[in-house]
Amino acid sequence: MTSTDTSSPAPSAAPSQRKLSTAKAMVEAVAAEMARDPNVFVMGEDIGAYGGIFSSTTGLLDTFGPERVMDTPISETAFIGAAVGAAVEGLRPVVELMFVDFFGVCMDQIYNHMAKIHFESGGNVTVPMVLTTAVGGGYSDGAQHSQCLWGTFAHLPGMKVVVPSNPHDAKGLMTAAIRDDNPVVYMFHKGLLGLPWMARNPRAVGPVPEEDYEVPIGRADIVRPGRDVSVVTLSLSVHHALDVADELSGHGVECEVVDLRALVPLDTDTILESVGRTGRLLVVDEDYLSFGLSGEVIARVVERDPGLLHAPARRVAVPDVPIPYARSLEYAVLPTRSRIRDAVLELVDA
């Protein structure tokens, strides 16, 4: 992996080859910030003794106690709204929405309050909080527990949206998110956390520097350079794209894989530079196809210069259908390696 970061050591260059799961890397960042800043605290469902359903808070209760690691009732409107109020008063809450799919019960506090107060106040009030949430499917959890929905959040102004794809970025983006004076939605893919009870991507465990560092919010990472096709993607799909790139490299097709790492702000410059080199664009997105990230990325390229594209841009996303339960159906709609491979080959033949 290469890194475009200037502020953080790339994993390959890090003196430590210590490896962590994505979940442990997230927790390490939260713990370090809690130790550094007494205003940081954690709230959410099952984030105390359980340590987070997806191990996003393991051990924090033991270290910091119940005053700073607060299990909540199943009242997302109340506790996410409470995080907004606490942030307005200068605390820095890290609040967890267990599954992003649950946003329907509390979206008002998120998009009408968390995201708008700074603007409505003419910049006089800041809302420094992190809303963490689990995303993604692939394990037959059905239509209400498998979505990504980052496009929905990114569509609404006033919140940054970050989506790490690996342990290094998970730690660096969490550190940056907690230190940011804006609300940041931090979306972690269940299949990337390294959970022992779920099939996981082999890269869900990777090198993580022990010292603290920030991955700048809004800077994409070219995780594999290549001359033929730009595969612009994020989260778990980054790894599917890397696998396809490895495979096709043996057949003379070189994919450049761009890990966006954030939707808001979107690193348009890196996308344009990559497409400028390759002339071919594939966007891989585990969110729904229409009105979302994949269309936005293509629009940003076409708005700047349609001549950059030597072939029509392509998209591999979840077609506009709820995520099915049955494995055969779910994998028919997820952005799998085979769908990515087919799309890349069609692009280079075009």
Contacts to other proteins by CB under 8 A: 41, 67, 72-73, 75, 77-91, 93, 105, 108-109, 112-113, 116-126, 157-158, 160, 181-182
- Judged by beta carbon, residue 124 or residue 328, the one nearer other proteins is 124
User: What is the smallest separation between the CB atom of 4 and other proteins, expressed in angstroms?
Assistant: 22
What sign does the CA torsion over 19, 21, 22, 26 have? negative
- Judged by beta carbon, residue 207 or residue 218, the one nearer other proteins is 218
- Judged by beta carbon, residue 95 or residue 204, the one nearer other proteins is 95
Bridge-based pairing of strands 281-288 and 184-189 is unpaired
- What is the per-residue burial (b if ≥16 Cβ within 10 Å, else e) of 155-193? ebebbbbbbbbbbbbbbbbbbbbbbbebbbbbbbbbbbb
- What is the per-residue burial (b if ≥16 Cβ within 10 Å, else e) of 287-308? bbbeebbbbbbbebbeeeeeeb
Degrees, nearest 5: CA angle 178-184-188: 90
Element (H, E) at 148: none
- Judged by beta carbon, residue 118 or residue 315, the one nearer other proteins is 118
Position 269, amino acid:
D
Bridge-based pairing of strands 184-189 and 130-135 is parallel
User: What is the smallest separation between the CB atom of 265 and other proteins, expressed in angstroms?
Assistant: 8
- Judged by beta carbon, residue 50 or residue 119, the one nearer other proteins is 119
User: What is the smallest separation between the CB atom of 44 and other proteins, expressed in angstroms?
Assistant: 13
Beta bridge partners of 74: none
End-to-end C-alpha distance for the chain, whole angstroms: 29
User: What is the smallest separation between the CB atom of 86 and other proteins, expressed in angstroms?
Assistant: 4
Of 118, 145, 189, 240, which residue is the catalytic one? 145
Is residue 240 annotated as a catalytic residue, yes or no? no
The alpha carbon of 284 is separated from its chain's Cα centroid by a whole number of angstroms, namely: 14
User: What is the smallest separation between the CB atom of 145 and other proteins, expressed in angstroms?
Assistant: 21
Bridge-based pairing of strands 92-99 and 40-44 is parallel
Structure tokens at 100: 């992003």
Beta bridge partners of 255: 229
Torsion over CA of 194, 5, 10 and 167, rounded to 10 degrees? Answer: -10
User: What is the smallest separation between the CB atom of 196 and other proteins, expressed in angstroms?
Assistant: 33
Residue 308 and residue 272 in contact, taking contact as beta carbons nearer than 8 Å = yes
CA distances from 153 to 162, 238, 263 (A): 10, 20, 9
* Catalytic residue annotation: 145
